[in-house]
Amino acid sequence: MSDLSHVLVLAGGLSYEREVSLRSGRRVAEVLRAAGVDVETRDTDATLVPAVLSDPPDAVFVTLHGGAGEDGAIRSVLELLDVPYVGATPDACRVAFDKPTAKAVVRSWGLNTPDSVALPKETFHDLGATAVLARIVDRLGLPLFVKPSRGGSALGASIVRSAEELPAAMVGCFAYGDTALIEQYVQGVEVAVSVVDMGDGPVALPPVEIVPDRGVYDYAARYTAGQTEFFAPARLSPEATEACAGMAVAAHTALGLRDVSRTDLIVDATGKPYFLEVNVAPGMTETSLLPMAAEAAHRDLGTLCKGLLELAAARR
């Protein structure tokens, strides 16, 4: 059995990604139990704080996606409760979770990221949608990629190939958030690079290449088995693979992240990677990318999760 006598996995929450979070939580609990860890799974409701106070866990594994799970709010509560947890601090989460802010930070470190503009819903309406959108197309060109500035799982995200498609894309985006990030769409290979730090510094796992059947890695393609083909490791040149690994580790470092993260990239035809966004609570479902990367690296997922919990518990 593990030296960890009591571990808590947080899953669920009230974000749009609740169902994915519940699946991630179940998977993490399963692999931890297989690794000999006593696990309790809890949702984020009114019973959480009293339960933690009455029976404090050795450490918490946060598998909450979107909203409070990744914006630092739940981690702030865990710190108030003096409970160690796997992952980035609240301050780092706040920076990483806001995509325009994260892009600005990594760009200041010299990393490539597509040109973009962040547009709040109020500005979109107050200044006149037609005039603003026309200027965006003039400035950034086509095609474009539109997505909420916060959140994940590709909810509210879409590719825009003509100016006529942009208004509908904005409306769809605003259904999931108050600010839209509109960025140049870079044609290339979509890659995810997970980073883990077991105490010796951040290390990139093998990149995972994503090939959705319908050409778009949307919510259904992410979480429906058989709708996307994955290659782990990605079918990249050694030079491109090294560049992707270096970018993911640099983003992890620049954003002040801790323990684990996943960076999403596009690699163009020349092998040049572009930073898209970073995830501080990577998905852990059967179709998620970090578990695929761990398998490609010949690392047992349960052992990896257990090690991260032990590292967190040692920070108490």
**Parts of the chain belonging to CATH 3.30.1490.20:** 116-184
Mean pLDDT (whole number) for 108-128: 89
pLDDT > 70 fraction of the chain, expressed in percent and rounded: 96
More confident site: 249 or 226: 249
| pLDDT at residue 2, as a whole number | 54
- Pick the range with the lowest mean pLDDT from 67-71, 139-143, 158-162, 168-172: 67-71
Query: Residue 256: what pLDDT?
Result: 98
Mean pLDDT (whole number) for 127-153: 88
Mean pLDDT across 220-243: 88
Q: Give CATH for domain 94-111+187-300.
A: 3.30.470.20
- 24-52, pLDDT tens digit by residue? 999 999 999 999 999 999 999 999 999 99
| pLDDT at residue 220 greater than cutoff 80 | no
pLDDT above 90 covers what percent of the chain?
A: 82
| pLDDT tens digit sequence for 51-108 | 999 999 999 999 999 877 789 999 999 999 999 999 999 999 999 999 999 999 999 9
Catalytic residues: 17, 153, 288
Is the confidence at residue 129, as pLDDT, over 80?
no
pLDDT tens-digit readout, 289-309: 999 999 999 999 999 999 999
- Residue 19 pLDDT > 60: yes
Q: What is the Cα–Cα distance from 4 to 7, expressed in whole angstroms?
A: 7
Which residues of the chain does CATH 3.30.470.20 include? Answer: 94-111+187-300
Question: Can you give the pLDDT at residue 153?
Answer: 63
Is the pLDDT at 128 greater than 80? The verdict is: no
The answer on pLDDT for 142 being more than 90 is yes
CATH assignment of 7-87, among 3.40.50.20, 3.30.230.10, 3.30.365.10, 3.40.630.30? 3.40.50.20
Three-state SS letters, the chain: CCCCCCEEEECCCCCCCHHHHHHHHHHHHHHHHHCCCCEEEECCCCCHHHHHHHCCCCEEEECCCCHHHCCCHHHHHHHHCCCCECCCCHHHHHHHHCHHHHHHHHHHCCCCCCCEEEEEHHHHHHCCHHHHHHHHHHHHCCCEEEEECCCCCCCCCEEECCHHHHHHHHHHHHCCCCEEEEEECCCCEEEEEEEECCCCCCEECCCEEEEECCCCCCHHHHHCCCCEEEECCCCCCHHHHHHHHHHHHHHHHHCCCCCEEEEEEEECCCCCEEEEEEECCCCCCCCCHHHHHHHHCCCCHHHHHHHHHHHHHCCC
| Domain range 116-184, CATH architecture | 2-Layer Sandwich (3.30)
Q: Where in the chain is the domain with CATH 3.40.50.20?
A: 7-87
Query: Is the pLDDT score of 223 beyond 70?
Result: no
Q: Does the structure show a pLDDT above 80 at 5?
A: yes
Q: What is the mean pLDDT of the chain?
A: 93
pTM of this structure: 0.93
pLDDT of amino acid 1: 41
